[in-house]
Amino acid sequence: MVIVFKPGAPEENKAKMRSNLESKGFQINEINGVNMTIFGIIGDTSTLDINMLRIDDAVDKVMRVQEPFKRANRMFHPQDSVINVGGVEIGGRKIQVIAGPCSVETQEQVTDIAKSIKLGGASMLRGGAFKPRTSPYSFQGLKEVGLEYLKGAKKETGLPIVTEIMSPYMIERFVEDVDLIQVGARNMQNFELLKELGKTNKPILLKRGLSATIEEWLMAAEYIMSEG
């Protein structure tokens, strides 16, 4: 459900509305635009009487939202999100390029590539330290050693690090060492991993890929934000 307040609605009316809804167990996502304020109400709104909400003189209109994924839905946050990743803004007016090797192999390899992509205009370094493979006998990445190589390349170039996480057991290490945590297509429905990532303050890159639909992307985003 969405409550749209009239332009210039008194703050006391909005505060009273918020307090009333939160006392009933609802979560409020407040959107402050130039001319108006919108409350996105998260919870089982079937118990709410729209007409009672409309009584408030500060309310312009009340609408029920039938679409799923309310936290990731544009209806609840129409403004563009701008995410800061190690000083690089994603979602702003400039297109940011993430580049790097598929897999991290040596310190020299990843550092040389980092220097090259920086000269080419890239703003972040992506490299695979943990590599998901179809065959258990294929190269699985250098793991923690690969993370150290990425940190070395960051020290040389200043580029923020982007790399894929495979397990919730590595979250603490990733929070410490990685600037942008990537979730690959294989883990787009690993909801336990997504929920644990949502408890961190790190930005998350959902790599949808060809094997995940838009709905799966929204579902993954919803799981992450439900814990944030």
Q: What's the pLDDT at 227?
A: 66
Q: Which residue ranges form the domains of the chain, and what is each CATH number?
A: 2-63 (3.30.70.1140), 83-226 (3.20.20.70)
Q: What's the pLDDT at 33?
A: 77
Q: What's the pLDDT at 170?
A: 95
Count Cβ atoms below 10 Å from residue 5 Cβ, excluding itself: 21
First to last CA, the chain: 20
E strand or H helix at 192: helix 191-198
Whole-angstrom distance, CA of residue 86 vs CA of residue 89: 8
Contact 149, 106 (CB under 8 A): yes
Whole-angstrom distance, CA of residue 30 vs CA of residue 40: 6
Q: Per-residue pLDDT for the chain (228 aa), expressed as one digit of tens each?
A: 889 999 999 999 999 999 999 999 998 988 887 778 889 888 888 888 989 999 999 999 998 876 666 667 776 667 788 999 999 999 888 999 999 999 999 999 999 999 999 999 999 999 999 987 778 888 889 999 999 999 999 999 999 999 999 999 999 999 999 999 999 888 888 989 999 999 999 999 988 655 556 666 677 777 777 765
Q: What's the pLDDT at 67?
A: 62
Q: What's the pLDDT at 125?
A: 98
Q: Is 150 exposed, middle or buried (0-12, 13-18, 19+ CB in 10 A)?
A: buried
Q: What's the pLDDT at 228?
A: 56
| DSSP per-residue letters across 16-49 | HHHHHHHHTT-EEEEEE-SS-EEEEEES-GGGS-
Q: Do β-strands 124-126 and 161-164 pair in parallel, antiparallel, or remain unpaired? A: parallel
For residue 79, what are its two tokens? 């403004």
Q: Against a cut of 0.85, is the pTM above it? A: no
Q: What's the pLDDT at 214?
A: 60
User: Among 145, 165, 153, which Cα is nearest to 122's?
Assistant: 153
> Between the CA atoms of 116, 122, 123 and 125, what dihedral angle is there, to the nearest 10 degrees?
-60
Q: Is 84 helix (H, G, I), strand (E, B) or coil?
A: strand
